[in-house]
Amino acid sequence: MNKQALVEQIKKKQSYLCVGLDTDLTKIPTHLLKEEDPVFAFNKQIIDATAEYCVAYKPNIAFYEAMGPRGWDSLQKTLEYIPKEIFTIADAKRGDIGNTSKMYAQAFFEQMDFDSITVAPYMGEDSVTPFLEFENKWVILLALTSNKGSSDFQHLRVDSEGTALFERVITTSQSWGSTEQLMYVVGATQAQKLQEIRAIAPDHFLLVPGVGAQGGSLEEVSKYGMNKDCGLLVNSSRGIIYASAKEDFAEAAGKAAQTLQQEMAVYLGEIL
Ligand SMILES: O=c1ccn([C@@H]2O[C@H](COP(=O)(O)O)[C@@H](O)[C@H]2O)c(=O)[nH]1
């Protein structure tokens, strides 16, 4: 999907919500365990209930890999079920020597037809560029993550001017790909850094996980992170898909997604 189509969806739906499909067999309602593919049965109902409120879905690949071949099958069925106009993110956090990254890129962009993949920047340019060789496919590079451990490396000062490693990741990688194919992950729990990030990356889309279960503020993320195109995809996984553990789980997920979308419409009203 290209940037124009993504921005059009955001305008049309008045939403920059990404629903995280982190489907865990131990957390889904027990009546679904009788289904032939409980994970797909769960995801299907979640997608039906939330599609009108979101512009992206982000299955975290770990939840599917953890189930072995059955998990990959559930992932493929889920991907095929997602409406074509909705942006898809393989949250896989890959990246390796170029020769291997090329294979990861083929797996997620050709075999599975995801629109984007999250990539770790740690191995540098030649580990990232193989993912950038696919038309209308996106790399979402980890910049400043939402977890506590982000302070172990990402905030380290890398020069005498006090530049933080996450800032260097952003400035250096900008020459690897355009704003039409490169986004950055910035955790919602790091909203206080968003103004600094916008100063060095005014035009890139940011994928912002951490609203909901991790306590990030949608208001702060929107206030400091939006750009002229919106420029944000804000993810919530557990806060939406496990809004209820009972038979009404899909209805509850739809309501949780709608609540976030309605708040987003207010913030979007100020710029689009
Ligand atoms: O910095 C990061 C990068 C990725 N994630 C992923 O996003 C979702 C968040 O799930 P919640 O249930 O809404 O907390 C999950 O897949 C993480 O692996 C992140 O949280 N932070």
Domain assignments of the chain as residue spans, ordered by start: 3-268
pLDDT value of residue 271: 74
pLDDT value of residue 270: 76
What does the block give as tokens for 34? 């009788």
Going from the Cα of 173 to the center of ligand 1, the distance in angstroms, rounded, reads: 22
pTM for this entry: 0.97
Cβ neighbours of residue 106 closer than 8 Å, sequence gap 6 or more? none
Q: Cα separation of 180 and 207, whole Å? A: 14
pLDDT value of residue 47: 98
- Cβ(104)–Cβ(117) below 8 Å: yes
Whether 189 lines ligand 1, by a CB cut-off of 6 Å, is no
Domain with residues 3-268, CATH architecture:
Alpha-Beta Barrel (3.20)
For the chain of 272 residues, list the mean pLDDT of each consecutive stretch of 10: 97 98 96 97 98 98 98 98 98 98 98 98 98 97 97 97 97 97 98 97 98 96 96 98 96 98 94 71
Going from the Cα of 213 to the center of ligand 1, the distance in angstroms, rounded, reads: 9
Q: What angle do CA 237, 242, 243 make, to 5 degrees?
A: 105
Beta bridge partners of 90: 117
Could you confirm whether 34 is annotated as catalytic?
no
Q: Cα separation of 28 and 246, whole Å? A: 8
Helix (H, G, I), strand (E, B) or coil at 89: strand
Of the listed 11, 77, 93, 223, which one is catalytic? 93
Whether 43 lines ligand 1, by a CB cut-off of 6 Å, is no
Q: Cα separation of 115 and 5, whole Å? A: 12
Beta bridge partners of 118: 140
pLDDT value of residue 87: 98
Reading phi first (left if > 0) and then psi (alpha if -120 to 50, else beta), residue 13 is in alpha
**Cα 120 to chain center, whole Å?**
14
Whether 213 lines ligand 1, by a CB cut-off of 6 Å, is yes
Helix (H, G, I), strand (E, B) or coil at 119: strand
What does the block give as tokens for 204? 């890139």
What does the block give as tokens for 80? 């095929």
Q: Cα separation of 38 and 31, whole Å? A: 9
